[in-house]
Amino acid sequence: MRHDPSPYPERVNRLRAGISENDALLILHEKNIRYLTGFTGSDGTLMAGRDWLALLVDGRYTTQARGEAVGTEIFEFRSRVDGITAVAGERAVGAIGFESPSLSVEDYLRLQEKLPGAVFSPLSDGLRSLRAVKNEEEIALIRKAALIAGEALAAIREMIRPDVREKEIALELEYRMRRGGAEQAAFETIVAAGANAALPHARPGCRAIAAGDCVIVDYGAVSGGYHSDETCTYIVGPASERQREVYRLVREAHDRAIRAIRAGVTCGAIDRIARESLEEAGLGAHFSHGTGHGVGLDVHEAPRLAAGREDILRAGMVVTVEPGIYLPGDWGIRIEDTVLVKEEGCEILTPTSKELTVL
Ligand code: ZN
Ligand code: ZN
């Protein structure tokens, strides 16, 4: 693995390319700040001018910021608004582009009040794809997260049997991932059995697994800040003909979408392939979410593989493919892999086989 000693200058340059008529950009999303400077604190503000970079933190984070952040001045302030006001005043910043999804309305109104001469413009789309293409180091971390998670699932799979509760399985899986080297679970692990499997975002509860259940396990690990995301659906025997058939159809939609992934294809086209595959089978109405999403410092990030998305897949993007069919009150089946987009095709990073497994 090639080790790039500092990926940050190139990232900041890419950020600045989108500065347009602004004097400075205000970055508030913690993962974007981490991506641009290496600072891993959970609160802070990054201001980027054309030739300067200022990280504003409160007293809880000053020492950490000095130890971690690369290529930026560090300022300690009591409040975000005071810090931004001071730096903007000192550097005669007139036009400020801000990360609108991450600035509260309250802070926005206070900034307007404190900087009456400044013009604020939202950067709703501009930053969205900043982190979409991963470098080798990022890919290695996602790969590692996926392997840690996969090994943990393999170790607990025999727990998926009648009379074991969803929660016990989820807890054991998270424990194994952390024992295996994960910093944490990528999100609250989903173990959903029977009718709960018909809820795309079920939370594991006290329901005990019963014979004939579909059991959806949607889980991931975090390694070096990077996430993995994978879903396996098991059928606890006996499996009905209908369950086997729907599994085969979801798998077919998943496989067709993955076969179509390569640099240059739009995200919407991949979604359409998965969707049409299930529509052909008469199941389109039961596929109620997008086909996938980018994965990186956040478990859900750009790009989105959903209907109508014109974003173009590029080599180095890491995205999920996760078609699912949900039959309310009955059961559901979802199959998800995380894949690395390449010039010709893609590579599946999540290690677990998606062959139908009847336990
Ligand atoms: Zn998932
Ligand atoms: Zn996902």
Between the CA of 105 and the centroid of ligand 1 the distance, in Å, is 31
Q: What is the DSSP string of 62-121?
A: HHHHHHH--SSEEEE-SSHHHHHHHHHHHTT--EEEE-GGGS-HHHHHHHHHH-TT-EEE
pLDDT at position 175, please?
Answer: 98
Spacing, Cα 97 to ligand 2 middle (Å) = 30
User: What is the reported pLDDT for 123?
Assistant: 87
- Which H helix or E strand runs over 296? none
The pLDDT of residue 241 is 97
Ligand 1 center from residue 95 Cα (angstroms): 40
User: Other C-beta atoms within 10 Å of 176: how many?
Assistant: 19
Q: Ligand 2 mean position to 229 CA, how many Å?
A: 5
> Residue 202: helix, strand or coil by DSSP?
coil
Residue 4's pLDDT is what?
59
Phi and psi angles of residue 165, each rounded to the nearest 5 degrees, phi first: -80, 150
Ligand sitting nearest the alpha carbon of 293 = 2
- Residue spans in the chain of domains classed CATH 3.40.350.10: 8-129
Two structure tokens written together for 263: 């640099």
Q: Which residues surround ligand 1, an ion (CB under 5 A)?
A: 218, 229, 231, 336
Q: How far does the centroid of ligand 1 lie from the alpha carbon of residue 198, in Å?
A: 15
Domain 136-348 has CATH 3.90.230.10: yes
- Give the residue from 345, 185, 135 showing the smallest Cα distance to 255: 345
| Strands of 214-219's sheet in order across | 190-193, 214-219, 230-235
Ligand 1 centre from 229 Cα, in Å?
5
Q: Which of 3.40.50.1010, 3.40.350.10, 3.20.20.70, 3.40.50.2020 is the CATH number of 8-129?
A: 3.40.350.10
Name beta bridge partners: 120.
Answer: 96
Measure the CA dihedral 296/314/312/267, to 10°.
-50
Pairing of strands 184-185, 221-223: antiparallel
Å from CA of 322 to ligand 2 middle: 6
Parts of the chain with a pLDDT under 70 = 1-4, 124, 126
- What are 178-218's pLDDT values in tens digits? 999 999 999 999 999 999 999 988 888 889 999 999 999 99
**Domain ranges in the chain with CATH number 3.90.230.10:** 136-348
What is the distance in A from the centroid of ligand 2 to the CA of 68? 30
Name the pairing type of β-strands 301-305 and 292-294: antiparallel
